[in-house]
Amino acid sequence: MTRMKAKKVTLYGLLIAVALILSYVESIVPFFFTVPGIKMGLPNIAIVFALYKIGAKGAAAVSIIRVFIVALLFGNLISFAFSLAGACVSLCVMSLLRKWDKFSCAAVSVAGAVLHNVAQIAVAAIVINSGVIVFWLPALCVSAVVTGLCIGLVSSLLVKRVRIDLD
């Protein structure tokens, strides 16, 4: 294995580990709201950081591996479907916004958070075979703006201060 490849594998492993730890922390820290499904989105710190530091493909790998492992450890097939849908849609949107380079890290994170909720509501509507669940979307989007902004600001600080050398 070349030195660069070893560094890359190590970086991916660290990012996945951080995302898993943040997923676990998020699962044990109570975040009380009357709207079901509201979460802080802590693992997205690692995902947004990966998007800015290693690119969309690397961030996608980290995100999908994290979703799979979290579903195995803490979830089930339904939670896997919700998480995967949210992760894929939000990462696609964040990658496009990042590519245009006209949006701040915080704005990219907010867009990802909002679209994550939209994707999960769409999956929920399919699973329960009813559109009534869309009723929760406005509250979820408001929370997504707040949490996405916080995650984006933390990610922005990390992107600026953490140097990665894969050479």
- Report the C-alpha gap between 2 and 11 in whole angstroms: 14
**Domain boundaries 3-161, CATH class:** mainly alpha
C-alpha distances (whole Å) from 105 to each of 10, 29, 79 are 24, 25, 27
pLDDT over 80 (residue 3): no
Q: Tell me: pLDDT of 32 over 70.
A: no
Max Cα separation, the chain?
A: 54
Structure tokens at 158: 């990390």
> With bands split at pLDDT 50, 70 and 90, how would you rate the model's confidence at 39?
confident
Asked if residue 118 has pLDDT above 90, the reply is: yes
Report the percentage of the chain scoring pLDDT > 90.
71
- pLDDT of 62 over the 90 cut: yes
- Domain ranges in the chain are 3-161
Report how far residue 96's alpha carbon sits from residue 7's, in angstroms, rounded to the nearest whole number. 27
In this prediction, residues 139-157 reach a mean pLDDT of 96
Reported as a pLDDT band with limits 50, 70 and 90, residue 14 is very high
**90-113 burial: b if 16+ Cβ within 10 Å, else e:** bbebbbebbeeeebebbebbbbbb
Q: What is the DSSP string of 20-67?
A: HHHHHHHHHS----SSTT----TTHHHHHHHHHHH-HHHHHHHHHHHH
State the average pLDDT over residues 109-117: 97
Residue 18 pLDDT level (bands cut at 50, 70, 90): very high
- Unique residue bearing structure tokens 């896997």: 80
Provide the H-helix boundaries in the chain: 3-28, 44-54, 56-74, 77-100, 105-128, 137-161
Of 29-43, 87-101, 111-125, the one with minimum mean pLDDT is: 29-43
